Structure 1
Amino acid sequence: MTIAFYCVLFASFMPLLWVVFAKYYAGFKLRDNANPRELLGNATGVAQRANWAQANSWEALTPFAAAVIIASIVGVDQLKLDIASGLFIFTRLLHGIFYLSNHHQLRSLVWFLGITCVLYIYFQAALL
């Protein structure tokens, strides 16, 4: 498996990282497992922001995974694809960290850098 594909795998599980933080900061108890969306729907502060980071991670996954798959199929240079994918993962980790720490301007900046990585991958595929 290539680095880019490992990045897709990691991106697939990244939302689970943020939901762990969301549930922790929301004071998750075993009884809350009956209605976990209710707990997170009423969350505030860090728990709410972690839940939002989870949702945003799910939203970012589809275009990234599609870009990597398409780029691999059409034969984009593997090094370019691996670097762009690794940078995407790095920006997504920073995005979640900045979400939790309420640094909205930095969060927006790294979101933009992450989506730029995805667009770069699509652009590389379109050139072939």
Structure 2
Amino acid sequence: MPLAYWCVLFAALLPYALAKYAKSGAPSDNRYPREDYDNLPPKHRRAYAAHQNALESFPFFAAAVLIAVTMGAPPAMVNLLAALYILLRVAHALLYVFNRPPLRSAVFAAAMAVNVVIFVLPAFR
């Protein structure tokens, strides 16, 4: 299985790790789990925002990888770019949690650019 597919799995699980960290900031009531986030300390609220952003960005990444692999893009390039995307998304989450907005936005843009490159790779084979 290509490394890029493992990166898709990692990207799918990353939001849940962020949510787990976010929820560790306050007592939780599983009957109304989404209402707990209003009572979190700022760092944990930012982790929840990073969780939401990771969920929002995942479909494009998964689709880009699947399209690139099935349309015959060079596997080594797809793997490299998928790994780079994961590194950027982890950096984005950390920058979100530690409140570094300008750098976070730059890393978000870089990850989006990597995603676009993955998506269009088959057009240049």
Unaligned runs of 5+ in 1: none
Specify the alignment match of 2:23 in structure 1: 23
Residue 117 of structure 1: CA displacement?
Answer: 0.7
Q: What does residue range 1-128 of structure 1 map to in structure 2 within 5 Å?
A: 1-25=1-25, 27-29=26-28, 32-128=29-125
Q: Per-residue displacement from partner, 1:22-73 (whole Å, max 9, x unpaired)?
A: 1012x134xx111110001443401210110000000110000000000011
| One-letter code aligned to 1:118 | N
SS in 2 for 1:34: coil
TM-score, normalised on structure 1?
Answer: 0.93
Q: Per-residue displacement from partner, 1:54-94 (whole Å, max 9, x unpaired)?
A: 00000110000000000011110011000100000000000
| One-letter code aligned to 1:71 | A
Identity of aligned residues (%): 33
SS in 1 for 2:73: coil
Taking the aligned partners of 2:20 and 2:104, their CA distance within structure 1 comes to 19
Determine if contact 2:68/2:120 at 8 Å carries over to the other structure.
Answer: no
Residue 106 of structure 1: CA displacement?
Answer: 1.1
Equivalent pairs counted in the alignment come to 125
Give the CA RMSD over aligned residues: 1.2
| One-letter code aligned to 2:27 | F
Unaligned runs of 5+ in 2: none
